[in-house]
Amino acid sequence: MNSLKNTSIADRLSAAANAKKALLERAAKAKAAADSPEAAERRAAREAIASARAAREAERKAAKLAERARQAAALAAAQAAEAARIAAELQAQKEAADVEFAERTVREAAEEAEKQAARDARYAARKARKRKGR
């Protein structure tokens, strides 16, 4: 520290100039290295790796989309089959209910006819008793 305090202005200016010169030399060397054929080859290799990575990623994305589409199609088919099964089941229930209603209607009509016949028989018997009694 004492040596820094004891330096003259000329020493500090020459040190600053030397530091600036070294900085410019490093920048020129870095620029030359960046423009070299080896650096161009490294850049090309990095770009090739990046494009291959992007292609793999696109391929994975396409495979994932295809799998999702396949799953959606399978789900839609399953839902359609389930809907068809439910519709067939409802149709079968409706037909069974219609058959049961028709059977009940026939049975009720037969019972009504039997009741009517019994009423008619009682009426006829009553009339016959009245005629006998006259």
Judge whether 3 lies within some domain. no
Judge whether 2 lies within some domain. no
Judge whether 5 lies within some domain. no
Is the full-model pTM beyond 0.75? no
Question: Does 4 score more than 80 pLDDT?
Answer: no
Q: What is the pLDDT of residues 8-58, one digit of tens each?
A: 888 889 999 999 999 999 998 888 777 788 888 888 999 999 999 999 999
The token duo for 43 is: 């850049």
The token duo for 65 is: 């989309």
Tell me what pLDDT residue 5 has.
Answer: 64
- Residue 69 near residue 75, CB atoms below 8 Å: no
Q: What is the pLDDT of residues 47-89, one digit of tens each?
A: 999 999 999 999 999 999 999 999 999 999 999 999 999 999 9
Domain that holds residue 55: 10-133
Judge whether 37 lies within some domain. yes
Judge whether 112 lies within some domain. yes
Judge whether 74 lies within some domain. yes
Count of domains for the chain: 1
The token duo for 86 is: 């439910």
Judge whether 79 lies within some domain. yes
